[in-house]
Structure 1
Amino acid sequence: MRAEPQAAAYQADPQIPSLAEWLGDPVKPADFPRHQLRFRNRRWDKTVGLGDLSDDQWVDHFARFSPLPDNLPQPLALRYHGHQFRVYNPEIGDGRGFLFAQMRDGSGRLLDCGTKGSGRTPYSRTADGRLTLKGAVREILATEMLEALGVNTSKTFSVVETGEALERGDEPSPTRSAVLVRLSHSHIRIGTFQRLAVLEEDEHLRALVDYCLRQFPGPPPPEDAPGRDEPAVMLMHQAVERMADLAASYMVAGFVHGVLNSDNMNITGESFDYGPWRWLPLWEPGFTAAYFDHAGLYAFGRQPEAINWNLAQLAIALRRIADAPPLVGAIERFGDLYHRAMSRRFTWRLGVASRGIEADFALIEAAERTMRERRIGPDAFFFAHRGGRAAEGQLAERLQGYEPVDASHPYWSGEAPEAMLIEEVEAIWSAIADEDDWEPLSRKVTALRDMGRALGPVPDPAGHV
């Protein structure tokens, strides 16, 4: 759930070294010709006790990668495999990023600082290990919009322009370069487990399960769940709960990730790794984000299926250290958990109190029909009908009996909602590319955070009907 970040003291707690010998490789960051700070997340730097760093100190740590006090002495490029568009690939890993530091926030959560565009690693293959500045700007926009919409997402923590001219086939080249740091609740992926299973490293697989249960605790499996006391089964149930919620959050946000490969699925259910993402201009289940997704495998409406399929790959990996039936039993919970999350999240964004799954899904059906028939996108729909206002026809009928929540925030009386359609994304980038004008990006981030405050926190699932 999204919560307002709280300031905390810096608390280094590098936990990954206990696994490092078989989970990653020490690497050196690239030596960049330039270090110009372009984005510093003043919303989140205080949560890990780094709000008092000067900009020069910030750049030293997050562009030159001088180790943070009492933290990892050297960056670690993580090893993993994964299914990419349902084809298994053992030749992947952190190819342009690494784990730089681990810290606790004020609530005790272990958070990772991971990079993107920080240089070549043993897994770079023929790539240059770099990130375009446009890619970094797009990640800022994606994570800020998703956070505002209540999605459990990594946070873009830092972007520093690095002064290199990059050649890319999908951007006008040469193009500007950057190094990005993201703040995440773990970088352990489904593909991390897959690699250990394929290599038959069962003891390491058990150690990784124990690490995840210890560092990312979650609710226990249901009382009647077979094998509920087995560590691998416990982790499987937690992953299913988290990813069912992630799938629902994408759908309610109208977001298309674009590349839901198993190496892009975080065991904590946290969305990350933003490449060809898009937001829906209209409510179209077949809408795709990636130009190379010719079969529509990761189309908007297929995202729950894709996430569930990836969970099955996790179960296959864990089958080496647990019996199959309890793992299958955990996966079979996905549908019900997804529907509950949809019910809770859809009514939250619409600004009404949930009346239970049956009533809520009748409301969702009427809302989808309204969006399709009137050719209105989800951002405009939720804004126009906040708290049930301006509803007509079947939608108005379905909203009878729903109690509106507080809509006093000035955002709801504005002329139009915040959105993140591709035309605005390109306009924000063009201002930077053509005139080095960062003000449109700054204004957008401010506006998105204001929208997030207007929406408020997503209701906790424990309190849902």
Structure 2
Amino acid sequence: MPTLQQRLLPSRHAAVHAEFARRVLPTPLPSPRLAIVNTALAASLGIDAPTADAVGTVALLAGNAGGEAAATVYAGHQFGVWVPQLGDGRALLLGEIDSADGPQEIQLKGAGQTPYSRMGDGRAVLRSSIREYLCSEAMHGLGIPTTRALSMVTSPARVRREQMETTAVVARVSPSFIRFGHFEFFAHHGRLEALRALADYVIDRHFPACRAHADPVLALFGEVVARTATLMADWQVVGFCHGVMNTDNMSILGLTLDYGPFGFLDGFDAGHICNHSDPSGRYAWDRQPGIGQWNLACLASALLPLTGQAGLEAALARYTGLFETALAARFAAKLGLADWEDERDWPLLTALLEQMNAERTDWTLFWRRLGDFAAQRNEAVRDLFVDRERFDRWAADYRRRLHGDAAARGRAMQAVNPRIVLRNWMAEAAIRAAEQEDFSLMAALAAALARPYADGIGDEAWAGLPPDWADGLSVSCSS
């Protein structure tokens, strides 16, 4: 197959309008080393998987090839506060590839300063790069819309965060990295020609069916509302907490974007805050769906110069119903229910979540074991609770809702309740090994996360309760 260099085309997004992006030369990374590469993703892109001895490809993925890239400008609401200019402070679009799945943009994260770095050094540190690589691929394995990671290149170069840390560059892949904040920037600054050009580009490239609508911009917003609503449902049911759901971190395509201080639930806490930099809990697990709607309202405001207010308000009002429908369908599958009955099943689910929240029951283990319980193979799920009589009362109500073949039901439940997710302790273990220049644990973890629903693939160590030391882990916006 051809190499990345042979398939790479200029970014069409950057070329649409002069105000969208600035041309930038990446800052060379000293002594780059290809630490890990995603061979499956490379194959889907129709390129040879980069190897350590492919000097030219490694140089390209490190930002050392010498060619120009593009940094895009955007704004956003950060923790609810309006920031009029942000932009790609350390992310550079190398270009794009026409793949079997459509055009895919290739972006380097950590390749040096851009016009939007805002006093930053434009670098990404090793720990955050490992977390992004692993989590984007973990989400893909879970079937949740996400950006992807093609490679990670490391370097002995060091930068200061809370302490001195080594650097890395992740090559990210996505059909588009356009965010709500791109629209907010042009609307806020009154650059309506550019705003219109951006909307037209997104519609024609990513939502062509909207062009047939009487109001294509309104149709676009309706699509973004629907995708965001279902993405929030996807996050909730696997216990994923984004940690920094600013409007500049929200994908116009409904993808999970920008893996910073994220976390998956261990013991269930509805108000869990995964980001140490979020003391008010704005982006806690139980607040994510509401923040999704709040962010969509910001996008609607940005689109107001292009369409009518009444239509935007009506489209936004559909968010709650779309989210609840998607959430109900996902929980029905997790519970092994053939259908969802609002009057019976919301109370059933609520009672379960209340006990899990009170006892901090492990989120992933509970749902995985419930499949065996529903298939009448064992009752190991009961051992996750302290108040077993309370659980038994719930289980009696639950069993009355189950119908059909128990074995088939159990298999179906295991197909939607993952055995493993990327818990913080797993990422931390990979980081500690990588700091000693051992990337084998990272590679093994990436392979396990690619098959999160499978049993018996030799990685049982990842599928149990977190170790005691995991309680002391903390993540923040520093990366």
Same fold (TM over 0.5): yes
Q: Where does residue 389 of structure 2 map in the other structure? A: none
The SS at the match of 1:266 is coil
Q: 2:427 aligns with which of 408, 425, 428?
A: 425
Matched, 1:209 2:199: yes
Matched, 1:200 2:201: no
Matched, 1:153 2:146: yes
Give unmatched runs, 5+ long, in structure 2: 1-5, 382-391, 456-479
Q: 1:106 aligns with which of 90, 100, 104?
A: 100
| Compared CA separation, residues 164 and 65, structure 1 to 2 (3 A) | closer
Q: Where does residue 260 of structure 1 map in the other structure? A: 245
Q: 2:78 aligns with which of 56, 80, 84?
A: 84
Q: Deviation per CA, 1:270-304, whole angstroms, max 9, x where unpaired?
A: 01111111111222121111112121111110001
Q: Where does residue 467 of structure 2 map in the other structure? A: none
Q: Confirm or deny: 8 A CA contact 1:236 1:327 kept in the other structure.
A: yes
- Distance in 2 of aligned mates of 1:398 and 1:122: 57
Q: Where does residue 377 of structure 1 map in the other structure? A: 362
Q: Confirm or deny: 8 A CA contact 1:48 1:105 kept in the other structure.
A: yes
Superposition TM-score, scaled by structure 1 size: 0.85
Q: Where does residue 31 of structure 2 map in the other structure? A: 34
Q: Where does residue 174 of structure 1 map in the other structure? A: 164
- Distance in 2 of aligned mates of 1:228 and 1:393: 52
Map 1:289-438 onto structure 2 (within 5 A). 289-350=274-335, 352-355=337-340, 360-386=345-371, 388-389=374-375, 390=379, 392-399=392-399, 400-402=401-403, 405=408, 417-433=419-435, 435-438=436-439
| Compared CA separation, residues 353 and 159, structure 1 to 2 (3 A) | farther
Q: Where does residue 60 of structure 1 map in the other structure? A: 59
Letter in 1 for 2:41: W
Q: Where does residue 46 of structure 1 map in the other structure? A: 43
Letter in 2 for 1:385: L
- Distance in 1 of aligned mates of 2:153 and 2:336: 38
Richer in helix (by share): 2
The SS at the match of 1:451 is coil
- Distance in 2 of aligned mates of 1:232 and 1:179: 36
Q: Confirm or deny: 8 A CA contact 1:343 1:354 kept in the other structure.
A: no
Query: Identity across aligned pairs (percent)?
Result: 29
| Compared CA separation, residues 370 and 42, structure 1 to 2 (3 A) | farther
Q: Confirm or deny: 8 A CA contact 1:362 1:398 kept in the other structure.
A: no
Q: Deviation per CA, 1:100-130, whole angstroms, max 9, x where unpaired?
A: 11123213x2221112111000111211100
| Compared CA separation, residues 367 and 192, structure 1 to 2 (3 A) | same
Superposition TM-score, scaled by structure 2 size: 0.82
Matched, 1:96 2:62: no
Following superposition, the deviation at residue 11 of structure 1 comes to 7.8
Q: Where does residue 461 of structure 1 map in the other structure? A: none
What RMSD over aligned residues (CA atoms) do the two structures have, in Å? 2.7
Q: Deviation per CA, 1:127-178, whole angstroms, max 9, x where unpaired?
A: 1100101111111222232222222111121100022011111xxx321110
Give unmatched runs, 5+ long, in structure 1: 1-8, 68-72, 222-226, 455-465
Q: Deviation per CA, 1:356-405, whole angstroms, max 9, x where unpaired?
A: 65555344324423422443121011111126244743245235235565
Q: Confirm or deny: 8 A CA contact 1:146 1:253 kept in the other structure.
A: no
